[in-house]
Chain A
């Protein structure tokens, strides 16, 4: 079984500041890793994914994440945030050999202030 822990439920930050949203996972098998973003009153949109290869993954809107197998982490970063990045961010994992089921973390609300 897998589980995902997002350590921060809320992250307030000023515009143009850097941000890191933390995600740790637990799994007895190899997993794929994902970050999804949910803008207000919208569905979830894939931000980036790690399936294999380079551990530094670049996604949309200037976000990137680094897979760290030894620390079982997949933290999301952006060097300079915008007001429009205000949203809820979900980290998720999926067993690479199983069904397409996603196990989600509880989410981190990023609030960007002017």
Chain B
């Protein structure tokens, strides 16, 4: 079954304690992306990756890091979490290129993060 898997689904942490949210996809997609969802703001892109070792900032990258060492994995790293990073996070993936498959992003189930 085609899917994007995020772990953990729920996470409570304290300010300054480094954490990693994992994301894995089994569709051999080149493009992967992280979004955060906040009430009244919709989803905003944090970082994205066009392929292995190719990453770039989205609209709200401050306080986050990512890496893309393997095609299937795209972890989101919070080196020193702060309360304003309390949010619902989604990982997404899609195939790159033209045509009908372009931009059809598949989303994980989400990770709800609370930073105290």
- A45 CA to B92 CA, complexed, in Å: 11
Q: Is B50 an interface residue when CB atoms closer than 8 A count as contact?
A: yes
Q: How many A-B contacts are there with CB distance less than 8 Å?
A: 62
Minimum distance in angstroms from B83 CB to a CB of chain A: 22
Residue of B nearest to A42 (CB): B109
**Are B107 and A101 touching (Cβ within 8 A)?**
no
- Complex Cα distance, B32 from A99, in Å, reads 11
Contact with A along B1-26 (1 / 0, CB 8 A): 00010000000000000000000000
Instruction: Count B interface residues, CB 8 Å.
Output: 26
Quick check: A32 and B103 within 8 Å, CB to CB?
yes
Known A-B contacts A32-B102, A43-B90, A49-B104; the reply to A100 vs B42 at CB < 8 A is no
> Which residue of chain A lies nearest to B56 when distances are taken between CB atoms in the complex?
A99
* In the assembled complex, B86 has its CB within 8 A of some CB on chain A: no
Question: In whole angstroms, what is the CA distance A100 to B45 when docked?
Answer: 11
Q: Counting CB contacts under 8 A, is B75 at the interface?
A: no
Instruction: Tell me whether B45 and A102 are in contact (CB under 8 A).
Output: yes
Q: Give the A-binding residues of B (Cβ under 8 A).
A: 4, 31, 33, 35, 40-45, 48, 50, 58, 90, 92, 94, 96, 100, 102-105, 107-110
